[in-house]
Amino acid sequence: MEDKNLKIKTEILDKEGIDRALTRIAHEIIEKNKGAKNVVIIGIRHRGDILAKKVAEKIFQIEKTRVPVGALDITFYRDDYDIKNKLEVTQTDLPFAIDGREVVLMDDVLFTGRTARAAMDALIDYGRPKSIQLAVLIDRGHRELPIQANYIGKNVPTSIKEEIILKLEQSEEKVLIAEITDNKGKGE
């Protein structure tokens, strides 16, 4: 997995583009939930949690409501444990009860839908939310499960041989599309 060669093809979003997409998602979350009072945002590690914080900040700017932000590690719920030998496990951090709340699950890229499936299973072990909604920065298609997002930053039709690269560092924020040149590489 680590050895595949990636050739950068195009930049899909720059810093401003990411910012605008997250602002729109924040507005849509407020609109759908008629405010943000009962909303909590839970990011899927890694990266979903970074985006979740950014969206919560946008919601605060718009609504002056602080929505609780959590982070979810879904490693124990994945369906590929038998195949992948090394999975990095981090901790779930949900410092609030999710019962009766409108939970927005935030992830970076929606691809096969398996991560979202695992995240929903994980969430339900923590309680009974009023609803679970899915927000993603990029939807790249190729679903293997009947799952779709409520909020999408950008739709990017991709080939299975391509990969989405997301940089979320302070110094560099952008989304790139790259081609996997090593023919051993397979979409994960």
Partner 1 sequence: MPLKHLLGLEEVSKEDILTILNLAKSFKEVMLRPVKKVPTLRGKTVVNMFFEPSTRTRTSFEIAAKRLSADVLNLAISTSSVVKGETLLDTVQTIEAMQIDMVVIRHGVSGVPLMLSKKIKSSVINAGDGMHEHPTQGLLDMFTIMDKKGKIEGLDVAVIGDITHSRVARSNIWGLTKLGAKVRVIGPPTLIPKEVEKLGVEVYYDLKEGIKDMDVINILRIQLERQKKNLFPTTREYAMLFGLNTTKLKYAKPDCMVMHPGPMNRGLEISPNVADGTQSVINEQVTNGVAVRMAVLYLLAGGKKDEIID
- Side by side, the strands of the sheet bearing 102-110 are 69-72, 39-44, 102-110, 131-139, 151-155
126 belongs to the binding site for partner 1 (CB under 8 A): yes
Please identify, using beta-carbon distances, which residue of 65 and 75 lies nearer to partner 1: 75
Please identify, using beta-carbon distances, which residue of 21 and 132 lies nearer to partner 1: 132
Q: Which of 113, 127, 185, 187 binds partner 1 (CB under 8 A)?
A: 127
31 belongs to the binding site for partner 1 (CB under 8 A): no
Please identify, using beta-carbon distances, which residue of 76 and 96 lies nearer to partner 1: 76
Which region holds residue 113: left if phi is over 0, alpha if psi is between -120 and 50, else beta? Answer: left
Number of Cα atoms under 13 Å in the Cβ half of residue 164: 23
Joined together, the tokens standing for residue 116 give: 């979202």
What residues between 42 and 101 interact with partner 1 by CB under 8 A? 73, 75-77, 81-87, 89-92
Least separation in angstroms between CB 6 and partner 1: 24
Please identify, using beta-carbon distances, which residue of 1 and 89 lies nearer to partner 1: 89
Give the type of residue at 74.
I
> 12 near 139, Cβ under 8 Å?
no
Using CB under 8 A, which of the segments 6-14, 20-28, 125-133, 156-164 binds partner 1?
125-133
Joined together, the tokens standing for residue 4 give: 């595949």
Joined together, the tokens standing for residue 153 give: 């930053």
Q: Which of 28, 63, 121, 173 binds partner 1 (CB under 8 A)?
A: 121
